[in-house]
Chain A
């Protein structure tokens, strides 16, 4: 039995503590900055007998996800963590795991993709996997990264979902920052007081009831299988909301899939994902104190993309800037593209895109002030002149 404790924890430590609490049966992982601390910590738990788990020190991230796939097929609870190049290396199997409907929880300590090589935060790694079929959650702070890890296992293993979940926390900004984190008070550690039952898989590799998994599917069935996968993914949104509600009702912390902040009367708003949300909220408070009616919408759940929640959150604003810490070269930021798609033809706000914080470029209150100023300028003109603006570029 464990009581709730509030401790100063780095994001990586918080995630490792949460993963341990969930009793994974198998962890297969490979070190990569800024995620490494998570798997180091978990290997210590195993070495000290605090966590009973097969810990596979694989020789690459590709093998990490491959081993997770194999382990999940047996019905085990499976965890891994990676970042950046690691996710890029394993991406082939990231897709296959989702299409096999094998629950796996993976933490991404978001880090820029090479090149140039860079170890600092942006979301280009997670965005590489946005079409993979994984559920993707982004944390605002270390507490949320902790809580989200626990929610992720429940979501992934819910039989109505049976999909892998990617939990993102911003590299260094969260992974290596110490924040107060309150742990869960748990009496029954086996099931987290009933919140997270022992995994009961729909299908598994069972020598008494053999099935074949991972079959070749040709044009007669491929598209039908993909349609089924899409339906399962879309339907998972209601389960995610249910899990968020249950978690909040038990432990008092609620994290909606889309969280409006000061949006009731907002003239202009930005939409954020990840740790910049906290900075954005501070900017909103400052600007509100100066009499400006600005707001913010935090997107926590990026896949499935909560279209209706976003429409509801943004509909009353005059102009909205969607922040992306990634860019689809030759196009726009990915979150913007999704959001614009959700808002098109609805007579709602003007929508534009801000590209911010690539490769760890600081996102400060001034960054947000610039974005709000630009949105007010667009609102005054009644149109978006420059749909994609890069904020904070040297010499601009």
Chain B
């Protein structure tokens, strides 16, 4: 059993990945995600492959870069493919003795647009080929870098600039794509969801993912204060409600079929989805000028259905003899 930190105070003090001085928005948790990844594996050299996204544009504006580790950006949709090239290059150079033999970890990271939508082919290909790398999707449920456009990750009914809350259509018509189940279907050794509101859980999952020889995937929810319309101080509370309302449950999938639920505890009473929705400006049209109970109910039903599905998968995994 690997040794995982149990208190935030146990995490290394030093910043290994991104430094202060980057230009992410005040209160944005994307920087926290990058910092926690660095702190999760203090003993391993990292190479960071970054998709085009907020994290990229805000941390590397030429001639400045806010990274303490080797960092590479290529384009938007091809981060997993770029990472597979980095992995292959490193492995062969080490094999031929031209780079000292080290246990270097390749981290690929992209937003939800670069992962759910335009990047999913490259991710599927790289996972199928079995390269040893960790892909992290930080999911803020829209194309935030281009100004809040709808993605496959955007939740049902949410306002974005391309799924406006109009007179006839009230925000996004579709539901959030079940990304982790799609990833898990590849049968990779480890993938998990995480939330910035549960940093120790996230750190443990990153560490676990890094320890996998082969591809691993961590999908972390990162509420966006600009796109979701909430105060700069609220990123972590909103993320916590996403988990506690069962909208974004935290779980792990081993070998593509063993589902393990982490949060929220099913024994605790359900936090109604309304509690999660009501303080987000992107969902204001569900509450003003008058409350749209019908859509709130639809969202609640969808959350309940997905939750039941997850519980069933977890229960089946527990009973299953094959793992």
Q: Closest CB-CB distance, A241 to chain B, in whole Å?
A: 30
CA distance in complex: A212, B71 (Å):
4
**Stretch of A67-75, A138-146, A353-361 at the chain-chain interface:** A67-75
Kindly state the separation between the CA atoms of A62 and B74 in the bound complex, as whole angstroms. 12
Q: Report B318 CB to chain A, min CB distance, Å.
A: 34
Chain B proximity of A321: nearest CB distance (Å): 40
- A59-B128, A66-B81 known; A75 and B72 CB under 8 Å? no
Return the chain A residue nearest B50 by Cβ. A214
Q: Which of B119-127, B148-156, B242-250 contacts A (4 or more CB under 8 A)?
A: B119-127
> Roughly how many angstroms separate A63 CA and B84 CA in the complex, as a whole number?
9
* CB-based contact B72/A213 at 8 Å: yes
Interface flag for B185 (CB, 8 Å): no
Q: How far is the CB of B15 from chain A (nearest CB, A)?
A: 13
Within 8 A of A (CB), among B50-91: 50, 56-57, 60-63, 65, 67-75, 77-78, 80-91
Stretch at the interface among A154-162, A176-184, A202-210, A265-273: A202-210
Find the B residue at minimum CB distance from A30. Answer: B125
Chain A residues lying within 8 Å of B93, measured Cβ to Cβ, are 25, 74-76
Contacting residues, chain B, for A70 (C-beta < 8 A): 49, 72, 74, 81-89
Chain A residue contacts of B68, Cβ below 8 A: 210
Q: Counting CB contacts under 8 A, is B95 at the interface? A: yes
Give chain B residues whose Cβ lies under 8 Å from the Cβ of A74. 85-86, 89-90, 93, 99
State how many angstroms separate the Cβ of B67 from the closest Cβ of chain A.
5
Residues of the B chain whose Cβ atoms lie less than 8 Å from the Cβ of A26: 85, 88-89, 92
Q: Is A44 an interface residue (CB 8 A)?
A: no
Verify A69–B85 contact, CB threshold 8 A.
yes
A55 to chain B, nearest CB (A): 9
A215 touches B73 (CB 8 A): yes
Instruction: Answer whether A71 and B85 are a contact pair too, CB < 8 Å, given A53-B92, A215-B60.
Output: yes
A344 interface contact, C-beta 8 A: no
Among A13-21, A216-224, A295-303, A307-315, which stretch is in contact with chain B? A216-224
8 Å CB interface, A25-76 against B = 25-26, 28, 52-54, 56-60, 62-64, 66-76
Q: Which residue of A lies closest to B61 (CB)?
A: A216
With A and B bound together, what is the CA distance between A207 and B48 in angstroms? Answer: 10
| Chain B residues within an 8 Å CB radius of A68 | 85
By beta carbon, the residue of chain B nearest A224 is B62
A216–B122 Cα distance when bound, in Å, is 22
Q: Which residues of A contact B50 (CB under 8 A)?
A: 214
Select which of B47, B57, B75, B129 is within 8 A of A216 by beta carbon. Answer: B57
Distance to closest chain B CB from A224 (angstroms): 10
Whether B221 sits at the interface, judged by CB under 8 Å, is no
Chain A residues with Cβ below 8 Å from B7 are none
Q: Which chain A positions have C-beta within 8 A of B128?
A: 59
Determine whether the beta carbon of B78 is less than 8 Å from that of A52.
Answer: no
Q: Does the CB pair B62–A63 fall under 8 Å? A: no
- Establish whether residues A59 and B88, one from each chain, have CB atoms under 8 Å apart when the complex forms: no
Residues of B within 8 A of A351 (CB): none
Distance between B115 CB and nearest chain A CB, rounded to angstroms: 15
CA of A26 to CA of B92, assembled, Å: 7
Verify if A92 is at the interface (C-beta below 8 Å from B): yes
How far is the CB of B70 from the nearest CB of chain A, in Å? 4
A96 interface hit (Cβ, 8 Å) = yes
A152–B43 alpha-carbon span in the complex (Å) = 40
How many angstroms from the CA of A75 to the CA of B85 in the assembled complex? 11
User: A93 in the interface, Cβ–Cβ < 8 Å?
Assistant: yes
Given A70-B86, A74-B90, A216-B62, do A52 and B95 touch, yes or no (CB 8 Å)? yes
| Chain B CB within 8 A of A78 CB | yes
Name the B residues within 8 Å of A205 (CB-CB): 47, 70, 72, 86, 90
Is the CB–CB distance between B92 and A67 below 8 Å?
Answer: no
Whether the pair A63, B70 counts as a contact (CB closer than 8 A) is no
Which of B61, B67, B92 has most chain A Cβ within 10 Å? B92
Which residues of chain B come closer than 8 Å to A289, judged between CB atoms?
Answer: none
Nearest opposing residue in chain A for B59, CB measure: A212
Task: Give A212 to B178 CA distance when docked, in angstroms.
Answer: 33
- Is B104 at the interface (CB under 8 A from chain A)? yes
Contacts of A78 in B (CB 8 A): 85, 89
Q: Among the listed A64, A69, A215, A225, which residue makes an inter-chain contact with B65, where contact means beta carbons less than 8 Å apart? A: A215
Answer whether residue A234 sits at the interface, using C-beta atoms and an 8 A cutoff: no
Whether A73 pairs with B60 at a CB distance below 8 angstroms is no
Does A211 sit at the interface, judged by CB under 8 A? yes
- State whether A73 and B89 are in contact (beta carbons under 8 Å apart), knowing that A63-B78, A96-B75 are contacts in the complex: yes
Is A379 engaged at the interface, CB distance under 8 Å to the other chain?
no
Question: Which among A62, A75, A211 is the interface contact of B78 at CB below 8 angstroms?
Answer: A62
| Nearest Cβ on chain B to A199's Cβ, whole angstroms | 9
Does B13 interact with chain A (Cβ within 8 Å)? Answer: no
Q: Which of B46, B57, B126 contacts A207 (CB 8 A)?
A: B46
Asked whether any CB of chain B lies closer than 8 Å to the CB of A198, the reply is yes
CB distance from A95 to the nearest CB of B (A): 10
Of all chain B residues, the one with the shortest Cβ separation from A59 is B125
- Given A75-B99, A207-B69, A66 contacting B74 (CB threshold 8 A): yes
Chain B residues contacting A28 (CB-CB under 8 Å) are 84-85, 88
B129 touches A66 (CB 8 A): no
- Given the contacts A59-B128, A72-B89, A75-B99, A66 and B62 also touching, CB distance less than 8 Å: no
A73-B46 CB under 8 A given contacts A78-B89, A218-B62? no
Give Cα A28–Cα B104 distance, bound, in whole angstroms: 21
Known: A212-B67, A214-B60. 18 other contacts (CB 8 A): A25-B89, A28-B88, A52-B96, A54-B88, A54-B89, A58-B84, A63-B78, A63-B80, A66-B85, A70-B89, A72-B89, A75-B98, A76-B92, A78-B85, A78-B89, A198-B98, A205-B72, A207-B102
In the A-B complex, the 7 residue pairs with the closest CB atoms: A70-B85, A59-B125, A74-B89, A67-B85, A214-B73, A63-B81, A212-B65
Give residues in B with beta carbon < 8 Å to A: 45-47, 49-50, 56-57, 60-63, 65, 67-75, 77-78, 80-93, 95-96, 98-99, 102, 104, 121-122, 124-126, 128-129
Chain A residues engaging chain B, CB cutoff 8 angstroms: 25-26, 28, 52-54, 56-60, 62-64, 66-76, 78, 92-93, 96, 198, 205-207, 210-218, 221, 225
